[in-house]
Amino acid sequence: MIELPDLAVGGLALGTLTALVLGGGLLRSRRQLKRHRTENAALRSHLDAAIPALIAEVDYLAARRMPAAARQLDHPHVTLPGPLQPQTAGTALGIALESVLLGLRTELAAQRTRIDSAAQAGMRGTTREIQAALYRLQDAIRQLQQRFDDPELAQILFQLDHENEQSLRRAQVAAVVCGAWVGLAREESHLVEAVTGGQSRLAGYERVKVHNHLETGTALVSHAVEPVAIIVAELLDNALRHSAPDTDVVVNLEQVPHGVCVTVDDYGVGMTRDERAFAQRLVGCHDPILLTDLGDPPRMGLAAIGRLTRQFDLVVDLSSPSPYGGVRAVLRVESHLLSRIDPEEQPPAASTPRSTRRAPEHTVEEPLPQRRRRTRVTAAETPAAEHSARRPEEAAAALGALQSGTAAARADTVLAHDTDHEEGTAR
């Protein structure tokens, strides 16, 4: 039987042991608390040091990087600066900041496209009205030309008609850039007539020298006539504008293995590498063309060429300089857009340059498909189709025919005046 003193001693030992255990746990807790306090103080100190850097990084993002990202949409050459603290690149913070820039660019691009589409729709409506008014003016000038025989009036009307033709071309180019249809589907036409028809729409057309090396009768299918005339007119317009007024613009029409090439060379100052790359992007790129990409005021010629090449499977190349020191532009028309017109049945206009190509005497070439001229088909989208727009061959013929007719009329007038004077003297 355990005595009372022994029991007291055992209880006291147990209590002492318990106290020691509790004291050790309390000591460990105090140590852990102290360590946590030290860690919290270090973390707070680190955060206090990081917060100003984070604020500076966000301020730099808002003040420098975001505006640069917005400008880069309009000017791809603008350099987008990196983060203020390079060590943040690749971290969670750096990835979050890059996500902000990506979201900004995506939203700005979507808004630009939406706004540009609305602007193009407005311009389509405006150019449609302008074209209709210019077609009415063209009809009125033609009626005056048919009504009056006075040579001086005929010359004035010719000049007015030519000015109206240039305005019509500019309105048509603006409409094409904004997504409108080119207008009327023409009759099948000799390719050289489409080229001279485009030439006739320009101021300074007399500086253009066309050398025709095609087989006689080489023609364009009906839906390719007007696009080719527009493209040639814009290429020639660029060449005439960017070369001295006392120099020529040389055009060569050549057969190539898979079609025909129309090469335009000028004697201008040429383009820099960046300018040539930008021009080639406009005429050959498949990306959407925005009005804001075309400058202020917008230069629409190359943009219109780009739309037409994509719509009608044509190819324009501006990548090589001209041997004359200026710019060389090459329009390639593939074989599936070519046809053949019997030159005996439907000869080219008298004002078009004759072909220098001679038919081989002992070789037999597979001819292009023979097609007869078809009636004109109107395009439903263009209200200006209600008016009788001039065909390229008619415009080309007007250059030579009307001027020569005016000169002949003047000569007849002078002769008649001299005859009357002589008869009056005899009386």
Same domain, 80 and 179: no
Same domain, 306 and 202: yes
pLDDT-based confidence at 47, cuts 50/70/90? low
DSSP letter at 204 equals T
**End position of a domain, from candidates 74, 89, 104:** 89
Predicted local distance difference test score (pLDDT) of residue 50: 66
Same domain, 83 and 146: no
Same domain, 241 and 389: yes
235 pLDDT higher than 90? yes
Q: What is the pLDDT of residues 287-337, one digit of tens each?
A: 777 887 787 777 888 889 989 998 899 999 988 888 888 889 999 999 999
Q: Which of 77, 178, 168 is nearest to 392 (CA)?
A: 168
pTM of the model: 0.67
Residue 110 resides in a domain: no
Q: What is the pLDDT of residues 378-404, one digit of tens each?
A: 333 444 434 444 555 555 555 554 444
Same domain, 52 and 188: no
Q: Which domain holds residue 47?
A: 11-89
Same domain, 171 and 320: yes
- Tell me the two tokens of residue 233: 């007119």
- Say how many domains are in the chain: 2
- Tell me the two tokens of residue 25: 């746990």
3-state secondary structure of 130: helix
Tell me which of 45-54, 101-110, 305-314 is least confident: 45-54
Q: What is the pLDDT of residues 61-103, one digit of tens each?
A: 888 888 888 888 777 778 888 888 888 788 888 888 889 889 9
Predicted local distance difference test score (pLDDT) of residue 409: 40
Same domain, 51 and 156: no
Q: Who contacts 184 (Cβ-Cβ below 8 Å, separation ≥6)?
A: 226, 376, 377, 378, 379, 382, 385, 389
Same domain, 178 and 279: yes
Read off the CATH number of the domain in which 374 is found.
Answer: 3.30.565.10
More confident residue, 117 or 401: 117
Distance CA 38, CA 35 (A): 5
What's the rounded mean pLDDT across residues 231-244?
Answer: 90
Same domain, 278 and 237: yes
Sheet with strand 189-190: strands edge to edge: 189-190, 218-220, 338-340
Residue 102 resides in a domain: no
